[in-house]
Amino acid sequence: MKKIFILTGEPSGDKLASTLISTLKLENNEIEYLSVGGTHLKNLGIKSIYDLKEITYLGFTSVLLNIFKIKSKINKTVEEIVKFNPDILLSVDSPDFTLRVAEKVKTINNNIKTIHYVAPQVWVWRKNRVKKIKKFIDHILLLFEFEKKYFDEENINNTFVGHPLIERNQNNKTIIDNILPKNKKIISIFPGSRNSETNVLLPILLDFIKLMNKKHNEYFFYIHATDENKSLILEHVNKYNFDNIDIVSEENIKSEILSKSIFAVSKSGTVSLQICNFNVPSIIIYKLSFINFMIFKMLVNVKFANIINIINNREVIPELLQNECNADEIYRSVIYLLKNPELIKKQISDCSKTLEGIRSKTSSAGEASSILIKYLS
């Protein structure tokens, strides 16, 4: 029986991997799996060698403070992968963790094929990383077509498979009309999937909701959670006396709620692609500690935090970062856009055009699955 080890580093990678593996299972159900994964892979019956929460860190200083724990986890993970002896090591996103593991595994056992899903953002920083990757990664699965040139230049095997978050998928719709609040306009809130970023961003977002409630009574807020951080979000929310807020973590319900939202406030990340895909106007927020931000500024190679803005090289979606990431600024930005429908229309139009330019013509999971099958043959 063929074997695949799935290596993720955070909930978004777990979700992405589960979409791919679900498709692969339809093609070949005779594969043995083991993982470092979360609830999405667990729901497919795939065991994780430890809890994903143990390796989810945000920011450079958090990594430095936990450096010995991380090194220990890397070594433990490598040991378990080598012992499992898979035909394929499928690493997904989180390159600072997954690629370190892949490199060590490849050094120990060169017969294990290494496939990395979600290319490191070499167009943002550390361009010299591409040359290093060539030594231990057999194939890279790309989410965006413009990334291809960076890996072609170094003759690294790569395939543009597309991003599953921007596929037009009418399946798995969940009827939620009976649970939605009546006569309320829905605003979706995305505080992030990592506990560390949730702890930073959620108090700011809850203060924003408090400001909204002082001056407006027509809105209902849904906080989009993961199974991993839902209890943490509830702890924060319980400190406030809100009656127009709910927390959702089930994927189909989250998608349906987003589709019915009039606006979204989201942390910077790939979730913004999903928001755009539903034609929902939004703003992007993010905040790092001062030290982390200064290190980030020294390393990055782009002006914007959001992928839509990076592709367009201009601010299509407003970004509130660092000092601007506060309740007052978020409130002002949201109300300004809601009062100016022509700006919302322009943002949605620009986002739609951008998505059309980067959308894969076929199923992302199907394309990625076909590459895995080739390596298993």
Average pLDDT score, the chain: 89
pTM of the predicted protein model: 0.78
340 and 366 belong to one structural domain: no
284 and 347 belong to one structural domain: yes
154 and 221 belong to one structural domain: no
Q: Is 306 part of any domain?
A: yes
Q: Is 109 part of any domain?
A: yes
Q: How many CB atoms lie within 10 A of CB 241?
A: 7
Residue 61, pLDDT above cutoff 50: no
Does residue 197 or residue 288 have the better pLDDT?
A: 197
Domain count, the chain: 2
- Label residue 238 exposed, middle or buried (CB < 10 Å: 0-12, 13-18, 19+): exposed
The two tokens of residue 286 are 């993010």
User: What per-residue confidence (pLDDT) applies to 327?
Assistant: 98
222 and 89 belong to one structural domain: no
User: What per-residue confidence (pLDDT) applies to 207?
Assistant: 98
Tell me the per-residue pLDDT of 140-182, one tens digit each, with 9 for 90 and over. 999 988 889 889 988 999 999 988 877 755 555 556 776 788 8
User: What per-residue confidence (pLDDT) applies to 58?
Assistant: 47
Domain housing 244: 185-358
Residue 295, pLDDT above cutoff 70: no
246 and 334 belong to one structural domain: yes
User: Which residues, at least 6 apart from 38, have a Cβ–Cβ distance to it below 8 Å?
Assistant: 8, 11, 14, 15, 48, 52, 226, 227, 228
Q: Average of pLDDT values for 83-105?
A: 95
CATH (domain of 322): 3.40.50.2000
Q: Average of pLDDT values for 70-85?
A: 94
155 and 49 belong to one structural domain: yes
351 and 364 belong to one structural domain: no
Three-state secondary-structure class, residue 9: coil
Tell me the per-residue pLDDT of 330-360, one tens digit each, with 9 for 90 and over. 999 999 999 999 999 999 999 999 998 888 8
Nearest CA to 113 out of 138, 85, 84, 81 is that of: 138
